[in-house]
Amino acid sequence: MGLHNRYEALLNGEHHCALSAKKIDPNQQEQLRAAFKSMMKGLFKQKGASLDINIITSKEAQAFIETHADVLNSAFEQTKMSATMRDSLEHSTYVFSGLKTFHELNEAFPALVDENGNRKSFERFLNDVQKVDKTYNEHYLRAEYNFAHASAGMAAKWEAFAEDGDRYNLQYRTVGDDHVRPEHAALNGTTLPFSDAFWDSYYPPNGWNCRCTVVQVRKTKYPETPREEAYRRGAEALANDTRGMFRFNPGKQGKAMPDYNPYSIRRCNDCDLAKGKATLAFVPDNELCATCSLVRQCYGDKTKLERAIERIHYLHEMEPLLKVKHEKPIEDGTIKVGFSTYGNKHLFSDTFGRSKVLEKEDLASLDKVLHQATFIGSSPLTHKRTDGVDHFYYFEGEIRGKKIRLNVARKADRKDNGFVRITYFLYSINDI
């Protein structure tokens, strides 16, 4: 089945439920339209009988991909989640947008010439590709936007569920109105532990515009569904998903859009590149695979540049901290704790993977958090470090009412004359 037929079948299924109330901002739609026109100007410059896939790396194509990804990202900009999860979801929308862009370029390319093989004027070419823009960036985009919204919301819930693990069971629930698909209604009430592999395949959303959800329930109140029965319901609910497109868990995989989607191929589910590894599990003679590699490379380059700029910005904001010191009581006296350039760099680079509480905007005011923090313990290092740090002191603090642990390093700088200078500085933060 071709892409368009496959997509239409998905979007216009027999039991297709109503669209979510969330709608694309008209301004974003207009920006996307302008970015498409600019990309078509870039495509118009191409020569030859076939599309050069390297066009995906052009400034025009990259601008379109980023604009399209921004539209999808806006679907979950208000959804609360960790920075790590958000970054991961936005990575998936960028790759999804890149593969979609490849299809748009590939479909628009033949329109460069007329029925006699003569090259068209740009005005005629642009007019002839408006159908491509409308199909992909209005019709399909509405369903994709809603899916990103639902998928990211469920990813955020999964992240919250993970904090409790199997302390509670998870229960599948539908909206319960007349628009619920019968096959999804059959899953309503299915209850299993958080760790059960059932949620790898049947965690919502289970289709375009799926509005189902999952909630935590007490084990004493809701009995577990027999696993055989649960999997039977799941298989029936996704019986029409013969290619396994929706059998993914957005929270567990950290993806707003599945690796296998209408713009990719089934083998994408087993690709090492999609799993964050350096190489492909398969290297078929497929332009889409080559395009995917280019898109991911572009994302990596873009991310490195953005992080470098971001790092400079936040480290600059933290510079006033270098003049701050707080006298903090410990088990056998007091120490003067401050900040250092080395410590600030580590705080920026390392902390956000450890803490769901700390945000980048908190970095410039960590002196206030440190001032209020109370001592809870210390420990010497069991092995020598090259940076001179030989001891850690631990303090309990709060950010927005949530407890965190501040890890203060003791550093011994030994001079050639034998003098040892001891300094104490905030090194890292993690949640308690």
Residues forming beta bridges with residue 375, ordered by sequence position: 395
What are the angstrom distances between the C-alpha of 120 and each of 50, 101, 108? Answer: 16, 22, 13
Structure tokens at 417: 């004359």
Residue 179 structure tokens: 């628009």
Q: What pLDDT shows up at residue 277?
A: 56
What is the spatial distance between Cα 139 and Cα 11, in angstroms, rounded to a whole number?
Answer: 10
Going from N- to C-terminal start, the domains of the chain cover 3-160+241-308, 319-431
Residue 163 tokens, joined? 């904090």
pLDDT tens-digit profile, the chain (432 residues): 567 765 665 555 434 444 444 688 999 999 999 999 999 999 999 988 899 999 999 999 999 999 999 999 999 999 999 988 999 999 999 999 999 999 999 999 999 999 999 999 999 999 999 999 999 999 999 999 999 999 999 999 999 999 999 999 999 999 989 888 888 999 999 999 999 999 999 999 998 888 999 999 999 999 999 999 999 999 988 888 877 788 999 999 999 999 888 898 877 777 766 666 545 444 456 788 888 889 999 998 888 888 888 889 999 999 999 999 999 999 989 999 999 999 999 999 877 767 888 888 999 999 999 999 999 999 988 888 888 899 999 999 999 999 999 999 999 887 777 788 899 999 999 998
Contact between 350 and 428 (Cβ < 8 Å) = yes
The predicted pLDDT at position 419 comes to 83
Residue-by-residue DSSP string for 85-143 = HHHHHHHHHHHHHHHHHHHHHHHHGGGGB-TTSPBPPHHHHHHHTHHHHHIIIIIIHHH
How far apart (Å, rounded) are the C-alpha atoms in residues 162 and 158?
6
Helix (H, G, I), strand (E, B) or coil at 391: strand
Residue (of 414, 417, 370) closest to 394 by Cα position = 370
Question: For residues 198 and 234, is the Cβ–Cβ distance under 8 A?
Answer: yes
94, exposed or middle or buried, with CB in 10 Å at 0-12, 13-18, 19+? buried
Strands (E), 281-419: 325-330, 333-338, 374-380, 389-399, 402-414
Answer whether 393's CB lies under 8 Å from 410's CB.
yes
Given this model, what pLDDT does residue 18 score? Answer: 43
